[in-house]
Amino acid sequence: MWQLTEKQLDLQARARAVATEVVGPRAAEVDRTESYPWENVEALREAGMTGMTVPAEFGGPGHSFLDAVLVVEEMAKQCGVTGRIAVEANMGAISAIMAYGTDDQRRLAAGLVLDGDKPAICITEPGAGSAASMMTTRADRRGDGYVLNGKKHWITGGGVSRLHLVFARVFDEHGEEEGIGGFLAIRDETPGLVIGRREPTMGLRGIPETEVLFEDMAVGADMVLMPPSGFGRGFAELMNSYNSQRVGAGTVALGLATGAYERALAYTKEREQFDRPIAEFQGVQWMLADMSIRLEAARSLTYRAADSHGPDGSPFPDPTLAAQAKVFTSENCIDVANDALQLFGAAGYSRNNPIERICRDVRMFTIGGGTAQILRTVVAARILDMKLPQTRDGFQRLADRS
Ligand X SMILES: Cc1cc2nc3c(=O)[nH]c(=O)nc-3n(C[C@H](O)[C@H](O)[C@H](O)COP(=O)(O)OP(=O)(O)OC[C@H]3O[C@@H](n4cnc5c(N)ncnc54)[C@H](O)[C@@H]3O)c2cc1C
Residues in contact with ligand X by CB under 6 A are 121-124, 129-130, 154-156, 204, 209, 364, 367-368, 371, 373-374, 377, 390
Nearest C-alpha neighbor of 142 from the set 203, 223, 253: 223
Q: Quick one: which H or E segment has residue 139?
A: strand 138-142
Residue of closest CB approach to ligand X: 129
Which is closer to ligand X, CB of 84 or CB of 294?
A: 84
Nearest to 21 by CA among 78, 71, 72: 78
Closer to ligand X at the Cβ: 83 or 348?
A: 83
Q: How far is the CB of 253 from ligand X (least distance, A)?
A: 12
Assess contact for 60 and 110: CB atoms under 8 A. yes
Whole-number minimum distance, CB 41 to ligand X, in Å?
17
The one-letter amino acid code at 291 reads: M
**Residue 257: what residue type?**
A
CB of 167 to ligand X, least distance (A): 8
CB of 187 closer than 8 Å to CB of 166: no
Nearest to 376 by CA among 330, 332, 327, 329: 327
Q: Which is nearer to ligand X, 4 or 374 (CB)?
A: 374
Taking the complex as a whole, the smallest distance from the CB of residue 9 to ligand X amounts, in Å, to: 31
Least separation, in Å, of the C-beta of 180 and ligand X? 13
Shortest distance, position 122 Cβ to ligand X, whole Å: 6
9 or 131, CB closer to ligand X? 131
DSSP code, position 128 = B
Q: What is the largest CA-CA distance in the chain?
A: 80
Identity of the residue, 358 or 364, whose beta carbon is nearer to ligand X in the bound complex: 364
Which CB sits closer to ligand X, 208 or 348?
Answer: 208
User: What gap in Å lies between CA 95 and CA 84, rounded to an integer?
Assistant: 15
Phi/psi zone of residue 49: left (φ > 0), alpha (ψ -120 to 50 degrees), beta?
A: alpha
